[in-house]
Structure 1
Amino acid sequence: MLDINILGSGNAGQVPVWGCHCVACERARLDTSFQRGPCSLEIRTELGVTLIDAGVTNLAERYDFDDIQRIILTHFHMDHVQGLFHLRWSERPEKIPVFRPDDEKGADDLYKHPGVLDFQPPFVPFQTMEFKDFSITPLPLLHSKITLGYLIERQGICVAYLTDTVGLPDSTQRFLSNKTLDYLILDCSEPPTPSAPRNHNDINLALWTYNTLEPKQMILTHISHRLDCWLMEHADTLPSNMHIAKDGMHIVSI
Structure 2
Amino acid sequence: MFSFTFLGTGDSAQVPVYNCSCAACTRARAQVSFRRRPSSAMLTIDDKKWLIDSGRTDLRELFPPPSLAGILQTHYHADHAQGLLTLRWGLGITIPVWGPEDPVGFADLYKHPGILDFSATWQPFETRQIASLRITAVPLNHSRPCFGYVIQSPDKTLAYLTDTVGLPTATQQFLSQLVLDDCIVDCSFAPRAQPHRNHNDVNTALAMYASLSIRRLFFTHIGHELDNWLMQHGHTLPDYVHIAQDNMVLN
> How would you bin the TM-score normalised by the shorter chain?
over 0.9
Q: Give, in whole Å, the separation in 1 of the partners of 2:208 and 2:236.
A: 16
Corresponding position of 1:245: 244
Q: Is the 8 A contact 1:47 1:69 kept in 2?
A: no
SS in 2 for 1:66: coil
Corresponding position of 1:146: 145
What is the correspondence of 1:205-220 to structure 2 with a 5 Å cutoff?
205-220=204-219
Corresponding position of 2:78: 78
Corresponding position of 2:60: 60
Deviation of 1:214 after TM superposition, in Å, equals 3.1
What is the correspondence of 1:42-191 to structure 2 with a 5 Å cutoff?
42-92=42-92, 94-191=93-190
Q: Give, in whole Å, the separation in 1 of the partners of 2:96 and 2:65.
A: 12
Corresponding position of 2:198: 199
SS in 2 for 1:216: strand
Q: Is the 8 A contact 1:50 1:71 kept in 2?
A: yes
Superposition RMSD on alpha carbons, in Å? 0.9
Deviation of 1:132 after TM superposition, in Å, equals 2.1
Q: Give, in whole Å, the separation in 1 of the partners of 2:230 and 2:194.
A: 19
Q: Give, in whole Å, the separation in 1 of the partners of 2:55 and 2:137.
A: 19
Q: Is the 8 A contact 1:72 1:99 kept in 2?
A: yes
Deviation of 1:36 after TM superposition, in Å, equals 0.1
Q: Give, in whole Å, the separation in 2 of the partners of 1:43 and 1:17.
A: 27
Deviation of 1:121 after TM superposition, in Å, equals 2.6
Q: Give, in whole Å, the separation in 2 of the partners of 1:12 and 1:76.
A: 13
Q: Is the 8 A contact 1:100 1:120 kept in 2?
A: no
Q: Give, in whole Å, the separation in 1 of the partners of 2:120 and 2:7.
A: 25
Q: Give, in whole Å, the separation in 2 of the partners of 1:214 and 1:12.
A: 29
Corresponding position of 1:41: 41
- CA distances 1:163-185 after superposition (whole Å, capped 9, x unpaired): 00011001101110100000000
Range with greater deviation from structure 2 (50-59 or 130-139)? 130-139
Amino acid at match of 2:40: S
Q: Give, in whole Å, the separation in 2 of the partners of 1:72 and 1:47.
A: 17
Q: Give, in whole Å, the separation in 1 of the partners of 2:6 and 2:150.
A: 15
Deviation of 1:202 after TM superposition, in Å, equals 0.3
Q: Give, in whole Å, the separation in 1 of the partners of 2:198 and 2:229.
A: 19
Corresponding position of 1:10: 10
Deviation of 1:208 after TM superposition, in Å, equals 0.5
Q: Give, in whole Å, the separation in 1 of the partners of 2:80 and 2:132.
A: 24
Q: Is the 8 A contact 2:135 2:151 kept in 1?
A: yes
Normalization by structure 2: what TM-score?
0.98
SS in 1 for 2:33: helix
Normalization by structure 1: what TM-score?
0.97
Deviation of 1:46 after TM superposition, in Å, equals 1.7
Q: Is the 8 A contact 2:186 2:220 kept in 1?
A: yes
Deviation of 1:156 after TM superposition, in Å, equals 2.6
Aligned length in residues: 251
Q: Give, in whole Å, the separation in 1 of the partners of 2:213 and 2:130.
A: 27
SS in 1 for 2:163: coil
Amino acid at match of 2:53: D
Amino acid at match of 2:218: I
Q: Is the 8 A contact 2:178 2:213 kept in 1?
A: no
Amino acid at match of 1:219: F
Unaligned ranges ≥5, structure 1 = none
